[in-house]
Amino acid sequence: MGRFTLEAKVGAFVVLSFIGIGVIATTLEPLKFKGEGIDKHYFLTFKNVAGLEKDAPVRIAGVTVGKIVKVGVKDGKAVVEIAFFKPVKLYADAKARIETMGLMGEKYIELDPGSSQAGELPPGSRLENTQASISVDEVMASLNELIAKFNESLVTPDGKNRLALLLERITLLTEDISKAVGEVDKLLEENRKNVSELIGNLLAISSLLKEELPQVLENVNTLTGQLSEMALENRQDIRETIKNLRYFSERIPRLLDRVDSLAVRIERLLNEQNLHNIDETVENVKEVSSELRQLLAKVNEGKGTVGKLFNDEELYENLTKTAKTLGKLADKLEETKTYIGFRGDVNLRTGDSRGVFSLKIVPSKDHYYLFEVVGDSQGKVDRQTYYINYGGTLQRREEIETKYRTEFTLQYARVFEDKWIHPGSKFVLRGGLKESTGGIGLDYLYSDRLSFFSDLWDTGRKDEKGEDVEPHLRVGVKYNLGDNWFIYGGGDELLYSRWRGFFLGAGVLFGDNDLKYLLGSLPGGIK
């Protein structure tokens, strides 16, 4: 048998694709926008329904059971008419509130059907127990009113700004402190000069006393002997001498006062604190000089970090190798490509929407890394089991709640060349986290514009009744409209017939060159 031609391969692939899509279409249940209970209409009264539109979903425990038929106004309040396309019973104590789902920001009505003890609420009834969404305009008005009151509190009765007056007083106080610091510095400088002069004078007086005091005492003794001889020989002269001594003694108290004053000044200067400060300063200078000598000696010997930097050749070589390694890493980063995008799709059967922000890092042609942030309005069922003591008996209780959380995708992808179906195309095998659970994916890149994708994730999940649910399987096709925009669609929840349906979506993707252009076009952006 001869080898198939290229045209035969492509034809076989297209035929098999249509057969697969036909099988999927025959297994899907019809779109249930209408069904049992479509004539059951109810009217809900709200104070404010800002952002709530016609055809928005109506949910109970996170499951879409109906939609909004009409939004109107009556007696100054908003009246919302809803209809159910699933068998739902509402009771007299039922409650309704307006919620926002996912990253898309779409608003919907969440119902609490109430308890059967209150009695069933007949179709066409009006439900008054409602909770409206918070208006952004009301929040902004309250904020503006608060800011206006704050500005009024800053104004004094005479029309002056309290904040400006406070800043002016702080400025004056700062200037006064600066002046006081300058005066203190000036006073200290003048005292330093006086102390230096006083020390010099004291040292001179001390030196003079040491040299002259012995001679003075000897002269006094000689004078005493001479006075004795003179007292015997010259009484008249003694009288004159006594007269002179009296005159001298009258002036001695003044001289003693001056000596006492000088002694006080010497005592103040030569107190223990000043002597201690002088000795401590001298010792510090000696220690610093010694440490500098030791440091220079260690540097010359190649000791310590600084010494090694100056003397170690091996360290220099290691630094050179490190610089080369950093250069290679910079080249690798330059080759890496980055793609940032956003896409959103809607399930045509349930009305659930999904918004995805994606970051794709491609270091080489044979693999890449995928990081995504996902907002899903379908939510996930969370079951909590607890036990209570009722009448001495331990009873089991379960609480079921549908939670809407932001989910994350982090996968590693490997790229393989297609050598069998269509040479030049590529297979991509992905694995890792898929919407915060384990998951795998297989893509087929047929051309630059056309590609096929499939994802399988969220194994071991359960529904609101606690029953096991098959893993989430999504298969679809993607078509690029240009360099950035694309559309996609396919089948969702293919393994679970209750949630099975079609989805359609669109998205945008920017590469390195697009990002540089966008950033460069901004004021002060990258050129």
Per-residue pLDDT at 32: 40
Shared domain for 133 and 210, answered yes or no, is: no
Note whether residue 315 is domain-resident.
no
Note whether residue 277 is domain-resident.
yes
Number of other residues whose CB lies within 10 A of the CB of residue 10: 14
Given a cut of 50, whether residue 33 has pLDDT beyond it is no
Note whether residue 311 is domain-resident.
no
Per-residue pLDDT at 92: 86
- Among 388-392, 493-497, 503-507, 517-521, name the most confident range: 503-507
Work out the end-to-end distance of the chain between its first and last CA atoms, rounded to an integer number of angstroms: 61
Q: How confident is the model at residue 53 (pLDDT cuts 50, 70, 90)?
A: confident
- Can you give the CATH number for the domain in which 434 is found? 2.40.160
Shared domain for 126 and 158, answered yes or no, is: no
Domains: count for the chain: 4
**Per-residue burial over 360-392, b = 16 or more CB atoms within 10 Å of its CB, e = otherwise:** bebeeeeebebebbbbbbbbbbeeeeeeeeeee
Single residue among 283, 301, 319 that ends a domain in this structure: 301
Given a cut of 60, whether residue 2 has pLDDT beyond it is no
Give the amino acid at 436. Answer: S
Note whether residue 280 is domain-resident.
yes
Shared domain for 474 and 365, answered yes or no, is: yes
Shared domain for 76 and 178, answered yes or no, is: no
Single residue among 282, 301, 320 that ends a domain in this structure: 301
pLDDT in tens, 210-226: 676 677 667 767 766 66
Rounded to an integer, what distance in angstroms lies between the CA atom of residue 13 and that of residue 337? Answer: 32
Per-residue pLDDT at 376: 78
Per-residue pLDDT at 29: 40
Shared domain for 211 and 359, answered yes or no, is: no
Shared domain for 191 and 127, answered yes or no, is: no
Residue 55: phi and psi, rounded to 5, are: 70, 5
Shared domain for 54 and 113, answered yes or no, is: yes
Say if CB 442 and CB 473 are below 8 A apart: no
Given a cut of 60, whether residue 27 has pLDDT beyond it is no
Per-residue pLDDT at 164: 76
Shared domain for 405 and 464, answered yes or no, is: yes
Note whether residue 216 is domain-resident.
yes
Note whether residue 413 is domain-resident.
yes
Rounded to an integer, what distance in angstroms lies between the CA atom of residue 129 and that of residue 47? Answer: 11
Per-residue pLDDT at 101: 73
pTM, 2 dp: 0.40
Shared domain for 502 and 358, answered yes or no, is: yes
Single residue among 229, 247, 281 that ends a domain in this structure: 229
Note whether residue 432 is domain-resident.
yes
Shared domain for 425 and 508, answered yes or no, is: yes
Note down the domain range covering 128. 41-137
Per-residue pLDDT at 120: 87
Shared domain for 117 and 160, answered yes or no, is: no
**Per-residue burial over 395-412, b = 16 or more CB atoms within 10 Å of its CB, e = otherwise:** eeeeeeebebeebebebe
Shared domain for 131 and 66, answered yes or no, is: yes
Q: How would you classify residue 302: left for phi > 0, otherwise alpha for psi between -120 and 50, otherwise beta?
A: left
As a whole number, mean pLDDT of residues 102-117 equals 80
pLDDT in tens, 408-428: 999 999 999 988 888 889 999
Question: DSSP string covering 370-438, please?
Answer: EEEEEEETT-EEEEEEEEEEETTEEEEEEEEEEE---EEEEEEEEEEE-SSSSBTBEEEEEEEEETTEE
Coil/strand/helix, residue 280: helix
Note whether residue 148 is domain-resident.
no
